[in-house]
Amino acid sequence: MLSIQKYIFKQSTLLFVVLLFGISVVFMQFALPAFWIVIDFTVVYLFFFSFYRFSNRWMNLSEKIIRKRIFWSALWIRVGYVLLSYLFFMEMTGLPFEFQSADAMGYHYQGLRIAEFFRMGQFDITPLIYFEKMSSRGIMILMGAVYTIFFDSVVAFRILNSILGAWACVMIFDMARRSFGLRAARVCAAMAVPAPPLIYYCGLHLKEAVIIFLMVFYMNIADRLLKEKQFSVRNLAMLVGTTALMFLFRNALAVALFLSFITALILIPKSETSPPKRFAVAAFLVFSLVLLSMADLETEAQKETMYYVAQKASNLEDHMRLYAQRGNVFATKAKRAVFAPLGFIGPLPTLVDTGQKNIIMLAGAMFFRNIFAFFVFISLYYMVKRKQWRHHIFFITVFFSWLFILSNSGYALQDRFHLVFVPIIILFSGYGISLAEKKSIANFRLYLMFLGGLIFAWNWFKLAGRGWI
């Protein structure tokens, strides 16, 4: 199996080099500056090389040892990136924030104001957050708490992101071991630890790193409730608490996770969980919802969520018209049928100079998902073929529910919102790689050719839509 990881490393890196060179030659006038080419290539090479090396080194380690290796490897990689990116952004923008950092700066200044209140012993921060959306309050309060303790340190908040990210990698390993076995779990860990999308957001003042942690934490607890024989009130309480907390960061994801758990509770095979346990879990959830309905949290979250549902028919079209006004006239042609497959494959990397520095910087992170989409297909195929899909119904439902939500929203082109797919892509890809056969590798070659053509077409689209070619 290790030869498969080595093959993925070599072929994927080769494809990225060919794309960088080919697109730069064909669209020479809009070729990326050498500086960005080096950065994007370095990200891709380091990820696939690390994936191969971690797979090799961890394949024969015991479960206890590998969990420690996962946490500490993930933590040091993320802390190193946080420090490096801090210096990089200071050099490039004059501030420790990314290019076009309106959201990050907004959270930062609100965090500073909240920290001032906390230091004065005023813990009623309602005047500061009253006019903020419910789904933005969590990150502001968390940032304010960190600033209070660590003297307004930007780096301290990002190191907290790194700790949460390392913990999330361990939980991804635990979920994979519980669902797919130890061999697949080792592959998942080797992917999660150096995964560029999970590392990148640790170095930003956005809520995505915390959202991913909460999501993985929720999924891990839910998976334990569904598959462990022993009934646990503690796990149920943590599940409800995480659901409530998620509404302070991203409403739609909280709803998707909760409904996915209910669906899994209904459809999971009887061999996985007994009817009395299902009844006990369902009764506890209903009781918890009654309690939540008495709080302002439920009322405000419901308003935001229902607004999204009511506007879903026009939400995508309105955002695409906005993209067209910003420069790409082809954006208005995009429909739900186009965006739905992006949950599997995309978004696609921009390898031409459109002036979108954040997007160009994320090219390697996007390419990571493009490559492993193939193994997501493999794993889903085997689940259906072997009639095991009901055993993994929770992960499947989370994936497709967020795919539905994203393809009906105005954020289908934004990488931040695709980040939710990454933990599930890692789980499915690790399982798919552990099942890969020679025939699969032959099909992987064909997939790489298809992917290369797709990325080339995407970069043409980026330029042609702006009237530059």
Name residue 31's beta-bridge partners. Answer: 352
Asked if residue 352 has pLDDT above 70, the reply is: yes
67-81, 252-266, 281-295, 346-360: least confident range = 281-295
CB atoms within 10 A of CB 313: 9
- Supply the pLDDT for residue 50: 96
Q: How confident is the model at residue 146 (pLDDT cuts 50, 70, 90)?
A: very high
Q: How confident is the model at residue 313 (pLDDT cuts 50, 70, 90)?
A: very low
335 vs 169, more confident? 169
Q: How confident is the model at residue 298 (pLDDT cuts 50, 70, 90)?
A: very low
* Residue pLDDT, tens place only, 173-182: 999 999 999 9
Q: How confident is the model at residue 265 (pLDDT cuts 50, 70, 90)?
A: confident
Under DSSP, the state recorded for 32 is P
Q: Please provide the average confidence, as pLDDT, over all residues in the chain.
A: 85
122-131, 282-291, 383-392: least confident range = 282-291
Centroid of chain to Cα 276: 34
Percent of the chain topping pLDDT 70: 84
Asked if residue 314 has pLDDT above 80, the reply is: no
- Supply the pLDDT for residue 18: 96
For 215, the token pair is 């999501």
- Supply the pLDDT for residue 320: 47
Asked if residue 100 has pLDDT above 60, the reply is: yes
- Supply the pLDDT for residue 413: 66
Asked if residue 80 has pLDDT above 70, the reply is: yes
156 vs 303, more confident? 156
Asked if residue 452 has pLDDT above 90, the reply is: yes
For 466, the token pair is 């702006």
Tell me the whole-structure pTM to 2 decimals: 0.90
User: What mean pLDDT do residues 93-99 have?
Assistant: 89
Asked if residue 108 has pLDDT above 90, the reply is: yes
- Supply the pLDDT for residue 123: 86
For 212, the token pair is 């991913």
Q: How confident is the model at residue 132 (pLDDT cuts 50, 70, 90)?
A: confident
* Residue pLDDT, tens place only, 385-416: 988 898 999 999 999 988 888 877 666 667 88
Give me Rg for the CA atoms of the chain.
Answer: 22
Q: Where are the domains of the chain?
A: 2-96+153-464
Main-chain phi, psi angles of 240, to 5 degrees: -65, -40
Sequence-distant (≥ 6) Cβ neighbours of residue 443 within 8 angstroms: 374
Using an 8 Å Cβ cutoff, are 264 and 394 in contact? yes
Q: How far apart are CA 248 and CA 129, in angstroms?
A: 11
